[in-house]
Amino acid sequence: MDSITGEVETISDGARSVGYIHRAELRSKGEDRIAVPHLEQGIIIAIFDVDGHCGSQLSDFAAQKLPALLSERLRADNVDVEAVMKDTIEEFDRSLLLPLLGLFDEGEDWSDPKWLNTETEVYPRIGDPDKDDERYAAGMRATVGSTALIAFLDKQRKYLWVASLGDCDAGYVGDTRTINGLPCSSANATTATTPPKSNVLSHFCPPRLEPQEILDFNSWTPPYMSSTPSIRHHNVLSGDMFVFASDGLRDQVRVPNARKFDIIFWLASGRHDDDLEAGLGHECVPAQVGDNVAERCGSGTKGRSEERRRFGGVW
């Protein structure tokens, strides 16, 4: 049976470790592409999800090109991070479409029956799929689509920006002793009066605490790389844990949506909770010091008899 594999990377300020990136994915499914480039100004975390997009051509290409392009533009001094992320993603999208559009004449009559003849009319324009033809590869990148979740954490570990196109998840939990600087008891009293939004893209919270959101749905029209991203900014506090994942993690939790993220964070936290374990439907391996949190969370969401599904995530 396939297994989830992962790695843990230490984040350093040059003198000491200041955090960790826990990463895991089900490599045999080959559906997620993850890139985590480090640059002098901070760290980029990017997830591109193939699922439902008829091929990995764009996910492969985007994982190679888009984080590198962002890294180059974020190296400038006093950069407007949100503007750079928005503009770079939109420009990347245009760069995908232009090669395909350039293969056809302006004002083409798409109702002409000639387009039914692939051998004499279509392949000479777009390239032959059975040959190593860059025209065809460029066309596939422009049409198959991909979700994208891209985060940038500044070098001081004080600010986080997250851009999303599609249905990946991004969320955080604060220090479990405090939420937004309030003791847990005060946070409970404060957040209990705030109704949850119905369009939350992701929320991860300590059990019995309200979600701390990063993203709301704002742009969710396939193909995801052909639209303006939703971008959110978060002030990072000591003890914050961030969760980034493709929809594979959420889909593996076979419980009502209202409880999915309680269970996901419970697994990430490593605590024991009989109620949440009962909701998950099976016992979980107890947390151990030095665990890869992403592996533990991905493995714990699988029922013992269920087919293992893909999961790519970064903590």
DSSP per-residue letters across 183-205: EHHHHHHHHTTSPPPTTBS-EE-
pTM beyond 0.85: no
- State pLDDT tens for residues 187-202: 333 333 333 332 222 3
**CA pair distance 50, 30, nearest whole angstrom:** 8
* Packed helices 57-74 and 134-143: angle between N→C axes, nearest 10 degrees: 80
Q: Domain with 211 in it: what CATH number?
A: 3.60.40.10
Residues in the chain: 315
Residue 283 burial by Cβ neighbours in a 10 Å radius (0-12, 13-18, 19+): exposed
Residue 124 contacts by C-beta under 8 Å, 6 or more apart in sequence? Answer: none
Bridge partners, residue 17, by sequence: 12
- State pLDDT tens for residues 90-103: 999 888 888 888 88
* DSSP letter, residue 34: E
- State pLDDT tens for residues 17-50: 556 676 666 554 556 788 888 888 888 888 887 7
pLDDT higher than 70, residue 59:
yes
Q: Which domain holds residue 205?
A: 5-314
Q: How many domains does the chain have?
A: 1
